[in-house]
Amino acid sequence: MPIVEPSYRPPWGLRNGHAQSVLARFLRRIPPSAYTRRRLELPDGDFLDLDEIIQGHGRIAILLHGLEASSQAPYVRAMAATLLDQRWDIVAMNFRGCSGEPNRLMRSYHSGVSDDLEHVIADMGKRYASPALALVGFSLGGNVTLRYLGEKGIAARDQGVTVAAAISVPSDLEACAERFKAPANRFYMNRFLRCLFQKVRHRQELFPSALDYDSVLASRHFHDFDGRFTAPVHGFDSAQDYWTRCSGKAVARAIAVPTLLVNARDDPFLTESCHLLEEAREHPYLHADIPSHGGHVGFITLRGKNGFYQESRVQAFFRSQTGSPHHQD
């Protein structure tokens, strides 16, 4: 307990993790969300852009996107629409530099930026009279969610967090970095690097003497990039030091808020160690739902209102843990 018996069954022809990972992006038909953007100024002089839908429900779901995505990612907007139906207000967090405007500092975001999430949580408590909070993180954002929950333990409840979910989480960063070196993942690796290099070039313009930028821009995988950029910029000794200190797996046993983990065994980015089955086996709060198929932030069903398992699964989990508020006419 609580390892969940998976209920996800993929449609015929979608039992391939790569197909799920790629097609999910094109099969989602989500209209633009009616976000209101608000800028949260941070103590270090930087900022986070928050995209909000506040309807006065008294409870807020904070959504965290994946690597080089944003609040506009289709999977974020789909989760926002699903939880709005369950009468959660929405705050979709853009990590530093991911809102369409470069951030101000040399530092960026990474898989362990739980301090930025904590600033958002504290801001919610001040701004909206201590609402009940939920966290939903995807991929990198899922790891940030697990890091925050594990680092805070019971204190997360004191900050208002009542329930959480994490989807397709690379909670063992070193193992996942190694996985990305596989030839089958070269397409994804190159895509991520192209996006990351754009941010590196912006920093090169603003801070020309801060790094050996030629070396960073010659990176071919995460071993290179995290060792040459992520680690030195964010105060880690090496890529391995960053991965060790920021993996969600390392703190998962300390989670003290009901938390759902949904990973697919055929996720091309993840390893078996990311599924946290040993951590969840006797855990009172961590619920591991690990279906055989689903790819990376895929879980296509083509059935029902949503057409994707992750939305309906998170909706059901949140309802089971918190109930649903009464509708007011």
pLDDT, tens digit, for every residue of 150-198? 999 999 999 999 999 999 999 999 999 999 999 999 999 999 999 999 9
pLDDT band at 303 (very low <50, low <70, confident <90, very high): confident
Residues 174/244, Cβ–Cβ less than 8 Å: yes
List C-alpha distances in Å: 160 to 60, 123, 146.
Answer: 10, 11, 16
> Which range (37-46, 108-117, 301-310) has the least confidence?
301-310
Mean predicted confidence (pLDDT) in 138-151: 98
In the chain, % of residues over pLDDT 70 = 97
Collect all residues with Cβ–Cβ distance below 8 Å to 274 and sequence separation of at least 6.
169, 170, 171, 172, 175, 176, 249, 263, 267
pLDDT of residue 7: 87
pTM: 0.95
pLDDT band at 328 (very low <50, low <70, confident <90, very high): very low
Of the residues 57, 65, 119, 296, only one is catalytic, namely 296
Does residue 56 carry a pLDDT above 80? yes
Does residue 115 carry a pLDDT above 90? yes
pLDDT of residue 329: 35
Q: Is 139 a catalytic residue?
A: yes
Residue 135's φ and ψ, nearest 5 degrees, are: -120, 135
Of the residues 49, 172, 226, 267, only one is catalytic, namely 267
pLDDT band at 131 (very low <50, low <70, confident <90, very high): confident
Does residue 306 carry a pLDDT above 80? no
Mean predicted confidence (pLDDT) in 35-53: 97
pLDDT band at 305 (very low <50, low <70, confident <90, very high): low
Q: What is the pLDDT of residues 211-224, one digit of tens each?
A: 999 999 999 999 99
Q: Is 202 a catalytic residue?
A: no
pLDDT band at 327 (very low <50, low <70, confident <90, very high): very low
Tell me the one-letter amino acid at 276.
L
Averaged confidence pLDDT in the chain = 94
Residues 51/91, Cβ–Cβ less than 8 Å: yes
CA 152 – CA 248 distance, rounded (Å): 12
Q: What is the pLDDT of residues 245-290, one digit of tens each?
A: 999 999 999 999 999 999 999 999 999 999 999 999 989 999 999 9
Q: Is 111 a catalytic residue?
A: no
CA 108 – CA 96 distance, rounded (Å): 6
Domains of the chain, CATH where assigned: 3-172+248-322 (3.40.50.1820), 178-246 (no CATH)
Tell me the one-letter amino acid at 285.
Y
Burial class (CB in 10 A: 0-12, 13-18, 19+), 284: exposed
Of the residues 139, 168, 219, 247, only one is catalytic, namely 139
Does residue 32 carry a pLDDT above 90? no
